[in-house]
Chain A
């Protein structure tokens, strides 16, 4: 049966990648709601595009779901208050080396929802796009691209496939997995609503093979009575990192390769993270915009890993305190997973819309950096078919003009090259430097 299935719906295998340990320790941990902190610091830029302008002033009374920041720019997404209380300050906050303009709100502890929030009537594609914008929804997989733009592709693009990304290939993170189990009803409605209103023929729900419980649930989506023409499929992907990256998941689901600098809509696809679908439907059915986020708190230095529902703007130190503190040998606090997440300098940094995990790592045994032996593992692991070792050689020799021909702009910084390198060369970092150098030269 399994084999018949795989012949009928062949999965296109990606090149390279890395077989990582999954460490999905929190897979069976039901989400715990973390109480609102005393104060939230809500950054005005939590997405790709123009930062928001504050729409409230110091001293204003706000409620859960009140719009506090918005922008007239096309590529942007509004920002809502995640607690009820008073605006204390609108100022640049230093999150340790990174200054971010924030609205600081002191919570009154009551979490009173804004009275204007109400169920939305969504009957057309325009309604849906407006709902996505008003919800403040951005790509919750980590990229933070405003969803209303994604759902509103240029009229030249004929969208035929909606890809729901539930691959979650990063180690430790289980927040999308929990979403697909706990908010299953919302996802089912959301998927059919988007499919119907945007008139998309095919829906492919992509999930890694190592999540049987979620697959079982998602199979019910495909078995729904609305799917008479059998156009909603659950596709089981190999559990190989970085299966969940946009380019690789489109290729696995449709066999199409996304060219450099193009959007998925240019090749007929819309890719949505599963939590984005759930959040959008929650907004439509209750009127509550994106004010809280399910995150996985795990890592070698977390004593009691958990899945938490956290208000956006909660300082990471409050979150870590809530899970019972971290190991005293903790060395790094990472917003995101260990492969692509970025380190925070200070735990005063906050949980944002696109945060899907906080990973705290203990000091690791230092692996000595040795010369490149040209084993070629970085090239075999690169899902984009690049040659990281050659880029490093060019960088070390100052041959920056070679970066263009080495196609460094294709790099999505998945980290596979650095992970597999036996000589512990900092290849992903080299790729970043090379990309920056190219960008500077273009200017």
Chain B
């Protein structure tokens, strides 16, 4: 026995699960849709994804080295950001744009605000918006996966497809134009199922987000299924709106957040001039998160109002 015992504050046991496991689970959940995107759009898609991921990791590494911080790439969070950004790009995006996007996501949006857990908006979404604004043409030309023709539409992928361009079945399984990782609702849902089983995310945000879009479309006479299955809605609702750091803590807060995202998405898609609403809706709601948290903070157990 050791002469000197270790003394520490209780509890003396901890769950074996760590941050890296959570991030790895997100990567695993994204994998089917990412691989499908590569098969659908070809080698260029794979290159874009790889470049985004590698750039994100290198950017994080450089930041850590330059600022003499502990190397944090092992937690896989940079890889998640890179992969999400890559999956949000059209296959026609030039490679250098992906590099810029990943670097912006990691350096500007994440690290400059304090690194993991301190960013106030989702890095992948913020970077995507930066790219949308900076390279509007490169970001909004989508290839038809079968003809490889660049579709001339600069409007949103979902709206372009709404009227009869693609069958619902193709929409569901992902055989249509769009960003690399967003086309297959089916595979994204499988990823969602995996995250639920692993208890990585709560179902509240994705369900209320998608549900709100569906209900609003129902009321305003939109094509509900086409709206839900196309564009970046599935990818955004399942993987980006559920980012821990930039979503509310409590279940009622999550519900408000999801409904807000859904409503803004619907408004932008229906009335806005922007090509796609999911990114903007999430980023706008991200900014509201501290206020939502304050609003929905639960009372402690046994709380009684102080007698006056």
CA distance A428 to B1 in the complex (A): 28
CA distance A214 to B304 in the complex (A): 37
Q: List the A side residues contacting B300 at CB < 8 Å.
A: 260, 384-386, 407, 410
- With A260-B302, A373-B19 known as contacts, the answer to whether A344 contacts B5 (CB < 8 A) is yes
CA distance A16 to B301 in the complex (A): 11
A332 close to B245 (CB less than 8 A): no
- Minimum CB–CB distance from B291 to chain A (whole Å) comes to 14
A331 close to B6 (CB less than 8 A): yes
Bitwise, A1-34 to B at CB < 8 A (1) or not (0) is 0000000000000010010100000000000000
Bitwise, B7-22 to A at CB < 8 A (1) or not (0) is 1111111111111011
Task: Confirm or deny: A263 has a beta carbon within 8 angstroms of a beta carbon on chain B.
Answer: no
Per DSSP, chain A at the interface is loop
A423 close to B19 (CB less than 8 A): yes
Q: List the A side residues contacting B10 at CB < 8 Å.
A: 334, 338-343, 413, 415, 428
CA distance A332 to B116 in the complex (A): 32
Bitwise, A400-443 to B at CB < 8 A (1) or not (0) is 00000001001001010011111110101100100000000000
Bitwise, B22-35 to A at CB < 8 A (1) or not (0) is 10000000000000
CA distance A129 to B198 in the complex (A): 52
Residue ID in chain B nearest A423 by CB atoms: B19
Q: List the B side residues contacting A370 at CB < 8 Å.
A: 18-19, 72, 75, 116
B250 close to A379 (CB less than 8 A): yes
CA distance A428 to B10 in the complex (A): 7
Q: List the A side residues contacting B250 at CB < 8 Å.
A: 376, 379
Bitwise, A325-352 to B at CB < 8 A (1) or not (0) is 1111111111000111111111100000
Residue ID in chain A nearest B11 by CB atoms: A415
B10, B299, B300 interface centre (most CB from chain A within 10 Å):
B10
From A328, A385, A421, A428, give the contact of B9 (CB < 8 A): A428
Q: List the B side residues contacting A247 at CB < 8 Å.
A: 301-302
- Minimum CB–CB distance from A308 to chain B (whole Å) comes to 19
Closest 10 CB pairs of A and B: A415-B11, A429-B9, A257-B302, A376-B249, A343-B7, A410-B300, A338-B12, A375-B244, A407-B300, A339-B11
Q: List the A side residues contacting B299 at CB < 8 Å.
A: 385
Residues of B participating in the A interface, judged by any CB pair closer than 8 Å: 1-2, 5-19, 21-22, 72, 75, 77, 115-118, 244-245, 249-250, 297-304
Q: Tell me how many residue pairs across A and B have CB atoms closer than 8 Å.
A: 146
Interface residues of A in 199-256 (CB under 8 A from B): 247, 251
Pairs across A and B, CB under 8 Å, 25 listed: A326-B1, A327-B1, A328-B2, A331-B6, A332-B6, A332-B7, A333-B5, A338-B10, A344-B5, A361-B12, A364-B14, A368-B18, A370-B72, A371-B72, A371-B116, A376-B244, A376-B249, A379-B249, A383-B301, A387-B297, A407-B300, A410-B302, A422-B21, A422-B22, A424-B14
CA distance A368 to B227 in the complex (A): 44
